[in-house]
């Protein structure tokens, strides 16, 4: 029997295995995403598995590239060509930008029926809606301001996880003197911007972060605190290895796993990589909130585009409901490194890092120190984010002074706002 014949026989057999009508009822979805690393692929595999278990057809459209810049370029081309995917990994103000173009479909009937408003933190529910209707379903809550470490490497210089930036610098200096790379980093604009915003929160505090990175206040962008932020970023530049340029973030995580570097400053999708490699938190790797007060929020969601095919429209409803279901939120987030967006899901089977994330999130909400990630598209328009990334990357790869960087940043952001 040829391959085609086997495949079609299998297809008929699996269709027969389903109760009549279920395959059609669950519909079809094409999902565009950038979850391609070890941990990410495992997590999205959970969604595919769950959707297929309901009898649906999943068409996978992965676009590699951490931070999603390549995926967003591909999405624009698809929408312009009049051929949008059924659902897209998308977030923050980007959701509103697409909704304003009139190209999003709402899943409000599903959300109302399942009482999403009662299950999501208010801040997230707001981001998922346009004109009062849900156009997106959140899959998780990622925290950006984490430090990951290899305890065996820290032990070599008798160091613990740092709790202040001064401690971080002192430990990094010791590691460097011992011939060990202190910081695993990938020199890509979004990764540079991730370091920058973690320092902005740590050095400046939540009020400063909001003023500079959310409200885009010119004084905050160009002032003394911003100069200090760039000073610390310059310090970090001295702690990376010579081959950092262009490296993917998951390869930087692998350096920490293998003991080739001590630390990585990265969101908790890095934990997904450690876990996918069989590493145990608290033993093989450590997690700690980066020095400072607050919590930088990054939440992934699936956004639904207007499609004319009935089967795809049905698929959107099934996918929306599945995305918020407790079973899926648990299995996806156990693999992804994040915590569930659906607050009714208990964290009993999650590790200490996840439990800390939830506790700190609640505290940050109460203390008004929860801030949206600029680097991960939760805070500002893509144009302004682009200006931040260009300037920060330029600073990281040149000998620009911190004073010039702050001044240039304020000017660049102003330019971005006018475009």
The residues that touch ligand GAL, with contacts defined as CB under 6 A, are: 34-35, 40, 66-68, 142, 249, 269, 298, 300, 376
Of 188 and 222, nearer to ligand GAL (C-beta) is 188
Name the minimum Å distance from CB 346 to ligand GAL: 22
Give the angle subtended at the CA of 17 by the CAs of 14 and 19, to the nearest 5°. 125
- The H-or-E segment that residue 58 falls in is strand 57-62
Type and span of the H or E element at 411: helix 402-418
- Transcribe 372-397 into DSSP letters: E-TTTTSSS-HHHHHHHHHHHHHHHT
Strand order in the sheet with 370-372: 142-143, 295-298, 370-372
Nearer to ligand GAL, 153 or 275 (CB): 275
Kindly give, in sequence order, each residue whose CB lies less than 8 Å from that of residue 70, ignoring residues fewer than 6 positions away: 34, 63, 64
Based on CB atoms, which residue is closest to ligand GAL, 40 or 106? Answer: 40
Minimum CB distance to ligand GAL, residue 4 (Å): 36
DSSP state for residue 294 in the 8-state scheme: S
By beta-carbon proximity to ligand GAL, the closer residue of 230 and 249 is 249
370 DSSP assignment: E
DSSP string covering 104-130, please?
BPP-HHHHHHTTHHHHS-HHHHHHHEE
| Cβ proximity to ligand GAL, 180 vs 361, nearer residue | 361
DSSP string, 161-224: --SSHHHHHHHHHHHHHTT-EEE---BSHHHHHHHHHHHHHHHHHHHHHIIIIIS--HHHHHSH
The residue (of 234 and 358) whose beta carbon lies closer to ligand GAL is 358
Q: How far is the CB of 264 from ligand GAL (least distance, A)?
A: 12
Beta carbon nearer to ligand GAL, 123 or 227: 123
Cβ of residue 259: shortest distance to ligand GAL, in angstroms? Answer: 23
Which phi and psi angles does 22 have, rounded to 5°? -65, -40
Rounded to whole angstroms, the Cα distance separating 130 from 344 reads 24
Neighbour tally for 411: CB within 10 Å: 14
Would you say 68 or 291 has its CB closer to ligand GAL?
68
Closer by beta carbon to ligand GAL, 298 or else 369: 298
Taking each helix axis from N to C end, the angle separating 165-177 and 224-237, rounded to the nearest 10 degrees, works out to 20
195 vs 209: CA distance, rounded Å: 13
CB of 377 to ligand GAL, least distance (A): 7
Which are the contacts of 243, defined by CB distance < 8 A and separation ≥ 6? none
Q: Is 2 exposed, middle or buried (0-12, 13-18, 19+ CB in 10 A)?
A: exposed
| Nearest distance, CB of residue 301 and ligand GAL, angstroms | 9
Residue 142 CB, shortest distance to ligand GAL, in Å, is 6
Question: For residue 156, how far is the Cα from the chain centroid?
Answer: 32
Q: Which two tokens stand for residue 225?
A: 């605190």
* Minimum gap (Å) between residue 297 Cβ and ligand GAL: 11
Minimum gap (Å) between residue 166 Cβ and ligand GAL: 29
Question: Nearer Cβ to ligand GAL, position 268 or 312?
Answer: 268
CB of 27 or CB of 66, closer to ligand GAL: 66
C-alpha span between 319 and 303 (Å, rounded) = 10
- φ/ψ region of 292 (left if φ > 0, alpha if ψ in -120 to 50, else beta) reads left
């Amino acid at each position: 029997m040829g391959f085609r014949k086997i495949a079609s026989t299998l297809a008929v057999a699996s269709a027969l295995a389903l109760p009549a009508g279920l395959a059609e009822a669950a519909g079809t979805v094409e999902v565009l995403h950038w979850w391609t690393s070890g941990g990410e692929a495992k997590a999205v595999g959970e969604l595919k598995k769950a959707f297929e278990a309901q009898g649906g057809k999943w068409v996978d459209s992965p676009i590699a590239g951490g931070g999603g810049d390549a995926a967003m370029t591909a999405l624009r081309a698809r929408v312009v060509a009049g051929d949008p995917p059924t659902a897209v990994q998308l977030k923050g103000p980007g959701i509103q930008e697409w909704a304003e173009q009139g190209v999003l479909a709402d899943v409000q009937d599903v959300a109302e029926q399942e009482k999403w408003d009662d299950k999501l933190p208010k801040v997230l529910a707001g981001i998922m809606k346009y004109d009062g209707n849900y156009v997106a379903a959140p899959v998780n809550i990622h925290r950006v301001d984490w430090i990951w470490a290899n305890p065996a490497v820290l032990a070599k210089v008798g160091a613990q996880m740092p709790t202040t930036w001064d401690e971080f610098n002192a430990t990094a200096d010791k590691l460097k003197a011992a011939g060990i790379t202190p910081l695993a980093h990938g020199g890509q604009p979004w990764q540079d911007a991730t370091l920058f915003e973690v320092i902005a929160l740590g050095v400046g505090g939540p009020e400063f972060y909001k003023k500079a990175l959310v409200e885009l206040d010119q004084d905050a962008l160009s002032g003394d605190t911003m100069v200090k932020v760039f000073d610390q970023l310059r310090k970090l530049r001295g702690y990376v290895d010579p081959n950092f340029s262009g490296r993917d973030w998951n390869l930087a995580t692998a350096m920490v796993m293998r003991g080739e570097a001590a630390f990585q400053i990265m969101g908790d999708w890095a934990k997904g990589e450690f876990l996918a490699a069989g590493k145990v938190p608290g033993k093989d790797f450590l997690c700690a909130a980066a020095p400072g007060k607050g919590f930088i929020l990054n939440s992934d969601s699936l956004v639904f585009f207007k499609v004319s095919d009935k089967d795809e429209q049905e698929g959107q409803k099934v996918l929306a409901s599945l995305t918020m279901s407790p079973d899926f939120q648990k299995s996806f987030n156990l693999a992804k490194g994040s915590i569930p967006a659906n607050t009714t899901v208990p964290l009993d089977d999650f590790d200490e890092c996840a439990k800390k994330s939830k506790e700190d999130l609640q505290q940050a909400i109460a203390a008004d120190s929860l801030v949206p990630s600029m680097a991960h598209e939760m805070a500002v328009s893509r144009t302004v984010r682009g200006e931040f990334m260009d300037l920060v990357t330029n600073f990281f790869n040149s000998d620009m002074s911190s004073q010039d960087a702050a001044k240039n940043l304020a000017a660049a952001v102003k330019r971005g706002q006018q475009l």
